[in-house]
Amino acid sequence: MKIKIIVFSLLFVLLHGKSISQQKNTPLKIGLIADPQYADQDTKGSRFYRNSLSKLDSATTAINAAGVDFTVMVGDLVDVGAKDLTPALQHLDKLKAPVYNLLGNHDYVDVKNGATLYKAYRMSAPYYTVEKGHWLFILLNTNELSEYATSEASAKRAAWQALNNQLKFEARKNTQPWNGGISRQQLAWMEKQLKKAEKEAKNVIIFSHHPLFPENGLETLNNRDILAAIEKYPRVKAVISGHHHPGNFANYKGIPMITLEGMIETSNENAYGVLELFPNRINLKGQGRMTSRKFDF
């Protein structure tokens, strides 16, 4: 009897250990798309608006083949608002796994009620979280405080105006009409999610449309407030953004700040990627113009 118990125990350990090893070697996979900015309009400069539909098709085919768990589209799906949204969503729908969208500044063009725009993009809320395995994904709305996303007499328009005035007084370069920020309520909400992740020992990736860092005039209006909150939580492993079409990268106090290359740019060369998340490293496998990157932690 004792021999049977010992043999059974050894088999359990071996099988269980193999299972854990397989989990460590099988990454969570996330498709990445930034700034397609589709529009049924002629090319302007380096922006080939109509070509974005065929680029989305190529990207969705490759992302499906990679077997991703889900895809994040970090904003500016369209260029001039909702009039071109239906065909863009139809092409994005070719993805087999779930798609989680963010709003970008171009998504708000000619929109009467920016507060409810998220519904047209099939988002659960203007900002929200996604949990998968030992990871928490925080999707911010960096358009919340802006002129283009708020109504004239609203409290958020007043908050944007006060923030913008302060930044101009400080001679900041990001006080541009295409940039936005987040409210105090959203900032408090983000910190609540970060505290929850620390308590539950979950690693975190934050997604935003406007970059948080480096500062080049395209960053989120109150990026420094967001960074001051993020740096307190070691579970944050990366921040991934769009908006700046050439792409960018910097480390902020050890946290990789990745700006994805925009799909809209160039006639034929695409830009998309697959993010692979392991317990102790991140691999970003970029395709076309999107830069591949690797990070250990």
Model pLDDT, residue 21: 37
Separation of alpha carbons 29 and 125, rounded Å: 23
Q: Where are the domains of the chain?
A: 24-296
CATH of 24-296, one of 2.40.50.1020, 3.60.21.10, 3.40.50.300, 3.30.479.10: 3.60.21.10
Q: 136 in helix, strand or coil?
A: strand
Whether the bond into 214 is cis, omega within 30 of 0: yes
The pLDDT profile of the chain, 297 residues, written as one tens digit per residue, is 555 544 444 444 444 544 443 345 799 999 999 999 999 999 999 999 999 999 999 999 999 999 999 999 999 999 998 899 999 999 999 999 999 999 999 999 999 889 999 999 999 999 999 999 999 999 999 999 999 999 999 999 999 999 999 999 999 999 999 999 999 999 999 999 999 999 999 999 999 999 999 999 999 999 999 999 999 999 999 999 999 999 999 999 999 999 999 999 999 999 999 999 999 999 999 999 999 999 999
Could you tell me which residues come within 8 angstroms of residue 56 by beta carbon, excluding any fewer than 6 positions away?
33, 36, 38, 88, 91, 92, 94, 263
Nearest to 104 by CA among 62, 153, 131, 142: 142
**The tokens 């960018």 sit on which residue?**
248
Residue reference for tokens 């949990």: 131
